[in-house]
Structure 1
């Protein structure tokens, strides 16, 4: 056995897939990258981890809805770009050429080019743990997206997609904890 520093233990069980969560603050849409997601049960209940440090968190808290969009591996560099800049200072839809598609049940948009989308309402925000509980209201698949590989974050700046490994540490260095 080889000893792994406890501070890196999360890289062994990092959940996935990486998703894009779109919000709308009443003025404009925004999108954030989330790699910590969890399915809660079979009734389309989900949890994501985010908090006040993310610009989108205020919209989640105030407007109480969002869309989880699931990008394919071909969108990896866009997903990283979205996750490494703030919507407070940047119109991410313009900067990354994202197509905002009308949702059927919520105000925030679906993101064109993604494999699938889940329109959600915020059920609960568990402060102190930074967990947002979401109830799915509608789900959509885009059969026209050819790259069906899901992106999974390892947590150290590398990613896997159906067994392929993508090293993006250089692109993500500013967002990685010390020592990772």
Structure 2
């Protein structure tokens, strides 16, 4: 093995898939690309890392709601483009040709072109670690979409794409205690 610079260690453990997070500040919709996501347990609780450096952060703080939209590999240039411009001076829905669909439970829009969307309420903001904890209130999945592979950011401008699924449910069930 060779030594890896400690500041690059995070590239070895990539987080959940890259997501687009939509917000509405009461006047306009916005989208931000988030490359650090986490599922919290076996419920509809999620966490992302963001802070005041993202224009959408103020809308997250004030509205306490958003939509997590899950793009697929065919959207990689859109995902990167969204992450490299600011909603302060750019209508990202218009610039990237995305369709905003109204949420049923939150003001933030769903993104029609994404594989899935999760309407969320902000449960907590842990400023010390720039973590926003969200509780899902509704989820939608487009099973008709041909492309279903998700993106994972390594953290240095490169991405990994989900591949083939391996089914080990039966094997895992045999190892769980009864009733689980």
What is the TM-score when the length of structure 2 is the normalising length? Answer: 0.89
Q: Following the alignment from structure 2 to structure 1, what is the Cα–Cα distance between the partners of residues 28 and 34?
A: 20
Q: Report which stretch shifted further, 64-73 or 37-46.
A: 37-46
Q: Identify the residue that residue 150 of structure 1 maps to in structure 2.
A: 150
Matched, 1:111 2:90: no
8 Å CA contact 2:120, 2:136 repeated in 1: yes
Question: 1:32: how far off?
Answer: 0.2
Question: 1:144: how far off?
Answer: 2.3
Question: 1:163: how far off?
Answer: 5.0
Q: Identify the residue that residue 101 of structure 2 maps to in structure 1.
A: 101
Q: Identify the residue that residue 176 of structure 1 maps to in structure 2.
A: none
SS in 2 for 1:62: helix
Q: Following the alignment from structure 2 to structure 1, what is the Cα–Cα distance between the partners of residues 16 and 146?
A: 20
Q: Following the alignment from structure 1 to structure 2, what is the Cα–Cα distance between the partners of residues 152 and 16?
A: 7
Matched, 1:11 2:22: no
Question: 1:162: how far off?
Answer: 2.5
Structure 1 unaligned regions, length at least 5? 165-180
- Superposed CA deviations along residues 95-154 of structure 1, whole A, max 9, x for unmatched, are 111100111111100001111111000011001110000000000001222110010111
Q: Identify the residue that residue 74 of structure 1 maps to in structure 2.
A: 74
8 Å CA contact 2:149, 2:163 repeated in 1: no
SS in 1 for 2:128: coil
Q: CA RMSD in A?
A: 1.1
Aligned pairs (5 A) from 1:1-180: 1-162=1-162
Q: Following the alignment from structure 1 to structure 2, what is the Cα–Cα distance between the partners of residues 19 and 130?
A: 17
Q: Following the alignment from structure 2 to structure 1, what is the Cα–Cα distance between the partners of residues 71 and 163?
A: 16
What is the TM-score when the length of structure 1 is the normalising length? Answer: 0.89
Give the number of equivalent residue pairs. 164
Q: Following the alignment from structure 2 to structure 1, what is the Cα–Cα distance between the partners of residues 56 and 156?
A: 23
Q: Identify the residue that residue 178 of structure 1 maps to in structure 2.
A: none
Question: 1:88: how far off?
Answer: 0.7
SS in 1 for 2:148: coil
Q: Which has the larger radius of gyration?
A: 2
Q: Following the alignment from structure 1 to structure 2, what is the Cα–Cα distance between the partners of residues 96 and 144?
A: 22
Question: 1:89: how far off?
Answer: 1.2
